[in-house]
């Protein structure tokens, strides 16, 4: 997939997601989505080269518009209503003000598609161009140069946090969430390095050949991730902890047998296993070392590579 196609695909998915969320919110009579849309689309259109501001200030024509660009003489009303009556009221109300002379008015429909209107709206209002929906926005964006499409895609990626669908078993979802929590900068707090990693000599008794490597790895990562892991584990109930323990024992034991009882090789494979799970399940930012530390900690608890 080339850069243009890839970036346009992001724009397409993110705008479709917003439309679906607004449509759902409106069906539940929730107005927050419409309110937040004003500032979102202000920033969105400004990425297209405009200079819109939100008209939530004392302006004579603010009752009929949400965004205004005094430099380019453009005005936009953001609405989830698609009926001709609503559109005509907005147009007539806007142009009834002297302050609106010389301005071009457009309506942006959020949550619904534009219709093929037969009403004569007047004021040189062309509904085929001046009533915008997601499809028409995408057509405009598709005509831009690749660099501009990329800027919009990056903006949408930063602004829109899609809720990922949970597709894995509950225990795997919980482990992925734990690792994601460990990977967040704000959840980590640097602590002192631990000296006695394996006080019960569990690792040394089971894997004497590799004990130095395993405890060394754990010790070097302890100061970075341990405080976050403590916080994460505090949020987990006892039943889920038992389920995860059983799951890790089964999965890790299979890998240990597969790797001829070599914990170093089996650990590397288990890290890759969860790395792939996170990568393919919508977790965009996570640390591979967070996975390693989590599994090493569970090894000391005998949940990974059990006796």
Instruction: Please name the residues in contact with 25: beta carbons below 8 A apart, sequence gap of 6 or more.
Output: 31, 32, 33, 34, 111
pLDDT at residue number 71: 94
Residue pLDDT tens, the chain, 307 long:
588 998 999 899 888 888 877 776 555 444 454 556 788 899 999 998 899 998 865 454 456 788 999 999 999 988 878 888 888 988 898 888 888 888 999 999 887 888 888 788 888 888 888 989 989 999 999 999 999 999 999 998 888 766 555 566 676 777 777 777 667 766 666 677 666 666 566 788 888 888 888 888 888 888 888 888 888 888 777 888 888 889 999 999 999 999 999 999 999 999 999 888 887 776 766 788 889 999 999 998 889 998 7
Sheet bearing 131-132, strands edge to edge: 53-54, 67-69, 74-79, 104-109, 131-132
CB-based contacts of 264: which residues, under 8 Å, 6+ apart?
A: 210, 213, 214
CA–chain centroid gap for 249, Å, is: 32
User: Both tokens of residue 228?
Assistant: 């976050």
DSSP state of 108: E
pLDDT at residue number 24: 64
> What is the rounded distance in angstroms from the CA atom of residue 153 to the CA atom of residue 88?
33
- The pTM (predicted TM-score) of the whole model is 0.52
Of all residues in the chain, what percent are helix, strand and coil, respectively (each to 5)? 60, 5, 35
What pLDDT, on a 0 to 100 scale, did the predictor assign at position 20? 77
Q: Are strands 104-109 and 131-132 parallel, antiparallel or unpaired?
A: parallel
C-alpha distances (whole Å) from 137 to each of 25, 52, 141 are 21, 16, 6
Beta carbons of 227 and 189 less than 8 angstroms apart:
yes
301, 242 contact by CB (below 8 A) = no
The pLDDT of residue 182: 64
User: Is 252 within 8 Å of 266 (Cβ atoms)?
Assistant: yes
């Amino acid at each position: 997939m080339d850069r243009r196609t890839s970036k346009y695909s992001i724009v397409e998915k993110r705008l479709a997601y917003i439309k679906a969320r607004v449509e759902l919110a409106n069906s539940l009579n929730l107005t927050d989505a419409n309110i937040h849309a004003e500032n979102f689309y202000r920033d969105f259109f400004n990425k297209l080269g405009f200079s819109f501001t939100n008209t939530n200030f004392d302006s004579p024509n603010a009752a009929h518009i949400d965004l205004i660009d005094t430099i380019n003489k453009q005005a936009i009303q953001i609405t989830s209503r698609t009926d001709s009556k609503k559109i005509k009221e907005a147009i007539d109300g806007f142009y009834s003000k002297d302050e609106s002379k010389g301005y071009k008015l457009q309506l942006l429909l959020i949550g619904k598609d534009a219709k093929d209107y037969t009403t004569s709206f007047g004021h040189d209002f062309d509904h085929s161009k001046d009533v915008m929906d997601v499809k028409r926005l995408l057509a405009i964006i598709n005509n831009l140069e690749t660099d501009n499409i990329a800027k919009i895609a990056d903006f949408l990626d930063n602004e829109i946090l899609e809720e990922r669908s949970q597709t894995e078993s509950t225990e795997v979802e919980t482990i992925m969430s734990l690792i994601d929590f460990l990977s967040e900068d704000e959840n980590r707090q640097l602590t002192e390095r631990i000296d006695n990693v394996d006080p019960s000599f569990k690792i040394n008794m089971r894997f004497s050949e590799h004990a130095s490597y395993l405890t060394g790895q754990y010790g070097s990562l302890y100061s970075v991730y341990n405080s976050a892991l403590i916080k994460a584990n505090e949020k987990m109930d006892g039943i889920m902890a038992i389920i995860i323990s059983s799951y890790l024992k089964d999965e890790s034991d299979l890998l240990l047998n597969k790797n001829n009882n070599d914990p170093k090789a089996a650990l590397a494979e288990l890290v890759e296993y969860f790395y792939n799970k996170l990568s393919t399940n919508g977790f965009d930012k996570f640390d591979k070392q967070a996975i390693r530390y989590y599994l090493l900690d569970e090894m000391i608890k005998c949940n990974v590579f059990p006796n």
